[in-house]
Amino acid sequence: MLELYDYELSGNCYKIRLMLSFLNLNYTSKKVEFYPSKEHKSESFLELNPLGQLPVIFDQSVVLRDAQAILVYLAAKYDKSKNWYPIDDPDKLGFISQWLAFGDSITGSSSAARLHDTLFYGNFDIVKCRETAHSQFRILDEHLFFQEELGNKWICNGSHASIADIACFPYVALSEEGGISRMSYPAIRRWMDRFKRINGFVVMPGVFPAGPL
Amino acid sequence: MLDDLKKIWYPIASSSDLPKRHVYHAQLLGREFAVWRADDGNVNVWENRCLHRGVRLSIGINEGTELRCQYHGWRYANRTAGCTYIPAHPADAPSRTICNNTYPMKEFMGMVWSGEETFGDPTYFENFDEFTVLRPIPINANFDLVKELVKSKYDKLNYLCKDEVNGAFSVTFERSETILFFVQPQDSNLSVLRGVANKALEGAKKISFLKMHNQILQNSRQEIEKISKTMKNNPMIAQISNVSVELSELPEKSEKNRQANLRVMVSEKIKTAEGIVSIKFEALDGQLPTFQPGAHIDLHLQSGLIRQYSLVNGPGETNFYNIGVKLEEESAGGSSYIHNNLRVGDVLACSTPRNNFPLRRDSVKTIFVAGGIGLTPLLAMAQALNVMNLNYEFHYFVKNAKHIAFSSILEKSKDKVFIHEGFSPSLTVEKLSRILSKRQKSMNLYVCGPGPMLEATRRVASELSWPDKSIHFEYFKNNNEIDDSSCFEIELARSALTLNVPSGKSVLEVLRENGIDLPSSCEQGACGTCKVNVIEGEVDHQDVYLNDSEKLEGNIMMTCVSRALSNRLILDI
């Protein structure tokens, strides 16, 4: 069975848990204690991922690290509908990759601020992290506002959410734990409500469910 | 200066910021708001703070009729912001003092407007018939600076700039295209620039127009924020007002009996079934107080009679009170007055809603048994359970199809409503045995109807080993003959008073004669309003409100009809 090296409070692991839930895939969660024991920096874990980062998946013979890479792998391999990662549509794939990189970049800002505030982790310039997160959120909010005007509910065009939405969601949704308010980003807040209403959505600590529509 | 700004109406959101079942997060002059649109279209602007633990309501859940706090699930009603349910206290009706602060709201020109202490009408400037709302731009700068620099930006682009009232300004291009701008001061160093243009655009034209101004404003924002970084302004600190004096203090001592502090107007009177009218009341001005399912009001009729009626309203239906009144054959004047004399437009006095029949919402399943007009409080309860998607069965016993009242509400939950027509008393008992035999742990039974039917239901439930605490009932009236021949002494533990209750007078009357005002409603031992806690002494229960185990415990009594078997009662008053 598919194994996920997992930490409950990690937004990057949450991306994978969301994908697995949306695709209704069974998996085993291998708990890795990020805080306080820093198990992800232990020798045995570094053997699996020399970067010492979560998540990692183990699927048959494939060992894969990096949340975005794992999203691509899982969607391409297991999503028969090809909704989450339309492998036959190069235009969409380009945009999806662009926003996957954006989702990853929030790890360095919003996620870093959260690690600093809630898990006392790392040696980050907290002011700089928050500033960067705000400038990233401005870009995402503007993009989502005009997507709505064009009749698109998601980050990339089309009627179905893509792995780009999954990649961006966790650290946007957890930003307030790092002191980054989302009050100024109403289009992001609306997109979050829509995302939470996708069939199969699961929560994590700090991410609350939306009500019924 | 802040005090002057508080009087101004500001746009705090675009209408499109409030899609179905969303909660929008706003701020004005340092004060945060949770803004949400109920399913009936009403926009609520509330203090962004749950009264319980202070958590932001902007992360709460908009359920369409109520807003639920994300933390411990307190529910607040559309319009009134009154708390309707506290999950940690499932058996209690929340106090009416638990009511969040609400702020004025207007919606026009595609925007939602509010303010702390708004004055007058917000439409003081030319209202556009056709309009397009620009994308709002949040800017980390003081509102004065924003205004100055945005104006100069448009000036450079050859727009004609003009100051409007209350800090607004307009920019006009080639004498035809005008954009009105409002700078919403979120805080001393945080603003939102909101623009609305005087033409209705659609499709690609709209998008290119929005994008063009979005770009102009974002460029302007860069310049503004560069300058703003060098300036320092103290943050605006919003004071969160306390609960109003009227709600926070004990009511004044008075010798008035049943109080009617509301004035309502009959706004609708329709026949809903044979011999039953549905009546809606609206407030003469302001907002009607919050109610919870199971609540009733005292209606003071022009004829001087006082009658209790349960509210039928579903959750969030807060702009009217709806009651059902059956014409009683032996009417003492109450129901016949309502049926024959009351007209739309009439003004009546009534009490604030009181809830002595609270609905638990932690049951695995709730069984409702309604007889005739007894369906009214149960109908309000069923609608609350609908909203929360909780499991229930609604059994409604009626004479025949013509006697089915409020059928339009019943229709909405067809699969849960079972109507039993024309059952004889013995068939009713048989049916009840079948309904109540499916008891599981954590089920609750709510019964309301005529006395004999209620007695039968309680008896059947008891025989099927339903515990007393899970059988909840409400009688229309107390059919017991009241024996008020005893005389005894009451000691009021907290008031340090000892009083004599002579035969022929109730405890309630004696208390009132001595300046102790106890709330009361039916005054015949049916509604539960005048209950007090008993510390010592044996009570002679004559009411129909308490169940048998409560009577046996003897810790509570109804002061309007119940008396003492011992020589003395010590009451917790």
Task: Please report residues of A whose CB lies closer than 8 A to that of B25.
Answer: 182-183, 186, 189
pLDDT of residue A36: 87
The string of pLDDT tens digits covering residues A143-199 is 999 999 999 999 999 999 999 999 999 999 999 999 999 999 999 999 999 999 999
Confidence (pTM): 0.88
Q: Which of A142, A148, A211 sits opposite B61 (nearest CB)?
A: A211
Which residue of A lies nearest to B39 if distances are taken between CA atoms?
A213
Average pLDDT over residues B38-50: 97
User: For residues B429 and B238, which has the higher predicted lDDT (pLDDT)?
Assistant: B429
pLDDT of residue B3: 84
Hey, are the CB atoms on B17 and A186 less than 8 Å from each other?
A: yes
Spatial separation of the C-alpha atoms in residues B467 and B465, rounded to whole Å: 6
Residues of chain A with pLDDT > 90, as a percent, come to 89
Q: Answer whether residue B505 shows pLDDT above 80.
A: yes
At B311, list the tokens: 């509210």
SS (HEC) of B94-161? CCCCCECCECCCEEECCEEEECCCCCCCCCCCCCCCCCEECCCEEECCCHHHHHHHHHHHHHHCCCEE
Residues of chain B with pLDDT > 90, as a percent, come to 79
Query: How much is the mean pLDDT over chain A?
Result: 95
Q: Which of B19, B62, B207 sits opposite A190 (nearest CB)?
A: B19
The string of pLDDT tens digits covering residues A81-115 is 999 999 999 999 999 999 999 999 999 999 999 99
The string of pLDDT tens digits covering residues B196-215 is 999 999 999 999 999 999 99
The model's confidence at residue B496, banded by pLDDT at 50, 70 and 90, is confident
Hey, are the CB atoms on B22 and A190 less than 8 Å from each other?
A: yes
Q: Answer whether residue B383 shows pLDDT above 60.
A: yes
Hey, are the CB atoms on A209 and B61 less than 8 Å from each other?
A: yes
Average pLDDT over residues B479-506: 92
Q: Which residues on adjacent β-strands are paired with residue B205?
A: none
Measured CA distances, B549 to B398, B417, B469, B493, B553 (Å): 30, 30, 8, 25, 6
Burial class (CB in 10 A: 0-12, 13-18, 19+), B431: middle
Provide the edge-to-edge strand list for the sheet that holds B43-47. Answer: B23-28, B31-37, B43-47
Measured CA distances, B61 to B73, B74, B490 (Å): 9, 11, 49
Average pLDDT over residues B431-458: 93
The model's confidence at residue B80, banded by pLDDT at 50, 70 and 90, is very high
Q: Answer whether residue B272 shows pLDDT above 60.
A: yes
Suggest the residue from B12, B17, B20, B25 to mutate for an interface test with chain A (most A CBs closer than 10 A). Answer: B25
Measured CA distances, B111 to A51, B14, B140, B219, B362 (Å): 50, 4, 21, 24, 40
Hey, are the CB atoms on A186 and B24 less than 8 Å from each other?
A: yes
The model's confidence at residue B298, banded by pLDDT at 50, 70 and 90, is very high
pLDDT of residue B183: 97
The model's confidence at residue B223, banded by pLDDT at 50, 70 and 90, is very high
Residues comprising chain B, all counted? 573
DSSP string, B494-558: TTTEEEEE-TTS-HHHHHHHTT-----SSSSSSS-TTEEEEEES-EE---SSS-HHHHHHT-EEE
pLDDT of residue B331: 72
pLDDT of residue B270: 96
Residue B328 near residue B411 (C-beta atoms within 8 A): no
Phi, psi torsion values for B10, nearest 5 degrees: -120, 145
Q: Which of B21, B25, B218 sits opposite A189 (nearest CB)?
A: B25
Judging by DSSP bridges, how do beta strands B169-173 and B137-139 pair with one another?
Answer: unpaired
Suggest the residue from A127, A183, A213 to mutate for an interface test with chain B (most B CBs closer than 10 A). Answer: A183
Spatial separation of the C-alpha atoms in residues B229 and B141, rounded to whole Å: 8
Q: Which of B21, B22, B210 sits opposite A149 (nearest CB)?
A: B210
Which residue of A lies nearest to B15 if distances are taken between CA atoms?
A186
Average pLDDT over residues B450-458: 93
At B417, list the tokens: 């409503």
Chain CA centroid to CA B429, Å: 36
The model's confidence at residue B253, banded by pLDDT at 50, 70 and 90, is low
Hey, are the CB atoms on B61 and A210 less than 8 Å from each other?
A: yes
Task: Please report residues of A whose CB lies closer than 8 A to that of B214.
Answer: 142
**Measured CA angle at B323 (ends B320, B329), to 5 deg:** 155
Q: Answer whether residue A126 shows pLDDT above 90.
A: yes
Q: Answer whether residue B327 shows pLDDT above 90.
A: yes
The model's confidence at residue B12, banded by pLDDT at 50, 70 and 90, is very high
Residues of chain B with pLDDT > 70, as a percent, come to 97
The string of pLDDT tens digits covering residues B402-414 is 999 999 999 999 9
Determine the distance in angstroms separating the CA of B525 from the nearest CA of chain A, rounded to an integer. Answer: 42
Q: Answer whether residue B30 shows pLDDT above 90.
A: yes
Task: Please report residues of A whose CB lies closer than 8 A to that of B32.
Answer: 183
User: For residues A163 and B3, which has the higher predicted lDDT (pLDDT)?
Assistant: A163
The string of pLDDT tens digits covering residues B140-182 is 999 999 999 999 999 999 999 999 988 999 999 988 899 999 9
Q: Answer whether residue B1 shows pLDDT above 80.
A: no
Which residues neighbour B369 within 8 Å (Cβ) at sequence distance 6 or greater? B378, B395, B397, B432, B435, B445, B446, B447, B448, B449, B457
Determine the distance in angstroms separating the CA of A155 from the nearest CA of chain B, rounded to an integer. Answer: 17
Residue B323 near residue B278 (C-beta atoms within 8 A): yes
Q: Answer whether residue B255 shows pLDDT above 80.
A: no
Suggest the residue from B12, B14, B16 to mutate for an interface test with chain A (most A CBs closer than 10 A). Answer: B16
pLDDT of residue B283: 94
At B571, list the tokens: 């009451």
Q: Answer whether residue B234 shows pLDDT above 90.
A: no
Task: Please report residues of B whose CB lies closer than 8 A to that of A210.
Answer: 21, 61
Q: Identify the CA nearest to B166 among candidates B133, B107, B118.
A: B118
Hey, are the CB atoms on A186 and B19 less than 8 Å from each other?
A: no
pLDDT of residue B233: 80
Measured CA distances, B294 to B99, B312, B319 (Å): 19, 8, 17
Spatial separation of the C-alpha atoms in residues A34 and B168, rounded to whole Å: 52
Residues of chain A with pLDDT > 70, as a percent, come to 100
Average pLDDT over residues B51-77: 96
Q: Answer whether residue B216 shows pLDDT above 70.
A: yes
Query: How much is the mean pLDDT over chain B?
Result: 92
pLDDT of residue B521: 86
Distant-in-sequence contacts of B206-210, Cβ < 8 A, 24+ apart: B206/A149, B206/B132, B207/A146, B207/A149, B207/A150, B209/B132, B210/A146, B210/A149, B210/B132, B210/B134, B210/B135
pLDDT of residue B251: 54
